[in-house]
Amino acid sequence: MPESCAGAEIHYLNSANLNTSLMYKGIAGAARRPRNTSRLIASVYRSSTRLFLHPLLCDLVALGLIATSLLAQSSTDTRTVPFENGKEIFEYSCVTCHGPAGKGTPETAVGFQKPATFPDFTDCGGTTPELNVDWKATITQGGHGRGFSPIMPSFTDALTPEQIDKVVVYLRSLCTDKSWPRGELNLPRPLVTEKAFPEDEYVISSALNAKGAPGIENNIIYEQRFGARNQVELDVPVGAMRTGPGSWFGGLGDISLGVKRVLSTNLSKGYILSAFGGIVLPTGNKSRGLGSGVTTFEAFLAYAQLLPANSFVQFQGGTDQPTHTDDVPRSAFWRTAVGKSFRLENGLGRMWTPMMEFIADRDFATGARTNWDVMPQFQVTLSRRQHVRANLGVRIPVTNTADRPIQVVFYMLWDWFDGALTEGWR
């Protein structure tokens, strides 16, 4: 040891830095986080601050290290991180990669190529959509467990669940702008009821007549957030229906464009309230039943409330105001979705969310009756990262059933903020 010590690089002789540098080396290819002293010292000899030492001094340093590390280990019984304060845990275990301020260590210093999803914990736009439960899963199981980069190590041996909770609280404190709504309020998307949470998402949905005249309507929906609380939305419907035996007619429906804004949100009270304003353009062929033929303004409020045990209720109520009411009357709609999510494998497996929607609309016309539908459905996450999901349900008219068919409705969504469509599957 002494002969290789002269000119060796010795890290600060405090166990905090030791531990992080070791942990990093573990991931970079060598063994996992070393627990025994000899490997500890071997790593110290390869660490980063250059000190040129006399061989004798080297022995002393090595002995000192053995003693401190033994002391450190005996004083921390089963776990290895001897801190209870979130900031200290972060500084001890995470700064090597995530940087002292949580912005991330520069790529030149960190020694690996950062994935596009590498977090800057001070960037509220990047961190607030993520759920605490997902962060805990990532810290416990490592990035790989959730379909992220395996460079993010597992801390299941190094940190107790309580320590992980504390470091997550600390990470949350690094985003100081509280106007961003928290991802916990981003509930699974029902088939009809619109969400209050602003999203970065593509959705392709299809509604297929299961009874009555054969027909299908597809919607291609694009949503993009801007600023802390806003989102734009574009909905392009494409429909097809049978016009006679063996003949179908298909084409574009009425394209709509709108803006949603979060009005009020509070994580501890578990709610989010948003308002939406939009315009529906008469781009569809009215005579073929693919459009209304008039420009319509649409406005609604959307509200979501978290309930105990991963259950929730989502509500949407609004109105359609056509610019000409000769053919198309003004109308109002209200929709409610109740559901509960089940996360398998402690949040690492699929998430299943059975939901029930109650959908109503009514024309502002004398004698008009309210259309009521119920819609049992379930959403499931497809990718391990949970950014690709599908939902399948049946829309069953309860009132005015004569001219309203039962429909099978399906969507697939891709939350593109969480990575490319092909990423995060294993």
Q: Which of 80, 149, 231, 331 binds ligand HEC (CB under 6 A)?
A: 149
8 A C-beta contact, residue 334 and residue 320: no
Q: Which of 96, 193, 231, 316 binds ligand HEC (CB under 6 A)?
A: 96
| Strands (DSSP E) found in 330-381 | 331-340, 342-343, 351-363, 371-381
Q: Which of 130, 194, 199, 415 binds ligand HEC (CB under 6 A)?
A: 130
Q: What distance in Å separates the CA atoms of residue 334 and residue 120, rounded to the nearest whole number? A: 39
Residue type, 81: V
Among the listed ranges 111-119, 231-239, 316-324, 386-394, the one in contact with ligand HEC (CB under 6 A) is 111-119
Burial of 247 by CB count in 10 Å (0-12 exposed, 13-18 middle, 19+ buried)? exposed
User: Which residue, 10 or 171, has its beta carbon nearer to ligand HEC?
Assistant: 171
Q: Which of 151, 272, 290, 304 binds ligand HEC (CB under 6 A)?
A: 151
User: Which residue, 152 or 221, has its beta carbon nearer to ligand HEC?
Assistant: 152
8 A C-beta contact, residue 161 and residue 89: no
Residue 237 within binding range of ligand HEC, rule CB under 6 A: no
User: Which residue, 24 or 312, has its beta carbon nearer to ligand HEC?
Assistant: 24
Is the dihedral angle over the CA atoms 271, 272, 273, 276 positive or is it negative? negative
Residues in contact with ligand HEC, total (CB under 6 A)?
25
CB environment 346-372: b (16+ within 10 A), e (fewer): ebbeebebbbebbbbbebeeeeeeebb
Residue 278 within binding range of ligand HEC, rule CB under 6 A: no
Residue 180 within binding range of ligand HEC, rule CB under 6 A: no
Q: Which of 16, 18, 23, 61 binds ligand HEC (CB under 6 A)?
A: 23
Q: What distance in Å separates the CA atoms of residue 220 and residue 213, rounded to the nearest whole number? A: 23
Q: What distance in Å separates the CA atoms of residue 310 and residue 325, rounded to the nearest whole number? A: 43
Binding mask 75-94 for ligand HEC (x = CB under 6 A): ------------------xx
**Residue numbers at the binding site for ligand HEC (CB under 6 A):** 23-24, 27, 93-94, 96-98, 115, 117-119, 130, 134-135, 138-139, 143, 148-149, 151-153, 155, 167
